[in-house]
Amino acid sequence: MWRHEQRWIMTHVPDQLYDLPPSAKLVLKVLDINGEMTQSQIATETRLSKRTVRYALDALRDAGVLRERMYFRDARQSLYSISDSVLTNEPTSVDD
């Protein structure tokens, strides 16, 4: 059975993303699929080093496509997600 679920997805790729390093593009895709994540979670999911993830997050922040907020479970960390400017709310089909 199929059901529809609302999910935020990337609708277009802003021009400033084409020149980003591959690590930043990978981090962006992981955030697109998984939603908010900490730097450690991103490193685990992508298998990139924490330093490379930090560099990728800086590049995404400079490109204006990264949103950052405090992680309340551990105030030393931040939660990262894709900026609303590159997302839209569209239905997607999910298999039950």
- Residue range 41-95, pLDDT digits in tens: 999 999 999 999 999 999 999 998 999 999 999 988 999 999 887 765 444 444 4
**pLDDT attached to residue 84:** 81
Instruction: Please give the span between the terminal C-alpha atoms of the chain, in angstroms, as a whole number.
Output: 6
Q: Which CATH class is domain 21-89?
A: mainly alpha
Domain range list for the chain: 21-89
Please tell me the distance from the alpha carbon of residue 66 to that of residue 85, in angstroms, as a whole number. Answer: 9
Q: What is the pTM of this model?
A: 0.75
**pLDDT attached to residue 17:** 79
Please tell me the distance from the alpha carbon of residue 24 to that of residue 32, in angstroms, as a whole number. Answer: 12
